[in-house]
Chain A
Amino acid sequence: MDWQGQKVVEQLMQILLVISGVVAVVVGYATESFRAMMLIYAGGVVLATLITVPNWPFYNHHPLKWLDPSEAEKHPKPQVVAKKRFSKK
């Protein structure tokens, strides 16, 4: 999953769960049924899981542009030169 997809997934998950919680409370209170509230919320959790947890293709529409290998060779990594440090007393 690319970065854009990860961001979308996190927001989607939170929104889906909050909405299913709100709908669950409202419907449960209106119908005076605790069971209705629990079932609606459980359904919302399952829905959110199916939408956000698997790595669906539409989360990969903005893939990272990795550097081309031939371009990378033209710019070698700088060498780290080990320096001796004289410790001060």
Chain B
Amino acid sequence: MLNEFNPCRPCWDTINDKDDFNINHSYKNYTISPLETKVERNIRTRTVTPVVTGSSVAAFTFNGGVILAADVLGSYGSLAKYRNISRIHQVNDRTVLGLGGDLSDADYIKEAIDTKVEQDIIEEDGSKMTPLALYAWSTRLMYYRRTQLNPLLTNVIVAGMENNEPFLGRVNDKGSAYKEFLIITGIGIHLAQGWIRTILETSSQINKQQAEQLMDRIIKQLYYRDCRAFARYQVCIVTNDNVEFKVKEVQPDWSLASSLRNTE
């Protein structure tokens, strides 16, 4: 019938040439269907599931700065494959990026940011990447990829000093972004965010040393309960003076285990 006639599809003789063995035959390999959108064409090639992943990232602001922590593990599913991956990336002297989720997408984001920052330096117009600018740019990037139905399956945590005030924000793979005094990504949301929020809300502004101790306690908790966690982790502290990186190892106390059910 005329409404079935598609001028872009090759016509073949349905009486003489047709056979019953048209396995894997696809018109889509060599025809352009004018009504197919770019999204539909891409659906077969987009990232669906992450491959090498980073676990949780924890971050909160304290009196005079921001502190972030993330373990140095890249998991290949349940295999602890890459055991020295830095997931906290310094952008310039007042901005850092924390990344969780798919790590190849994280590398893509890191490369894009580094190129952008270098180009800004070359232009010599005095502009400098600030945490808020990076947060806004990351939102645009992540949301754009979401609209193409080809998301970057990473969580981006932007932290630093904005106008000498601590800044902390998160953008996820859907492009949803928010700013807060406490941000945790990954399974840490369920294991840590609740009780940390209570501590931080009820206490007055804590100082740098207390913040470090609190962060160590958070990471230890995640190490106890997250199956994809790792004992070695990286801590980053951003203040008006500098950006400081430390590598630490969790000192777990398993003595409680014998009194818990289902543990040997």
A and B: real partners?
no
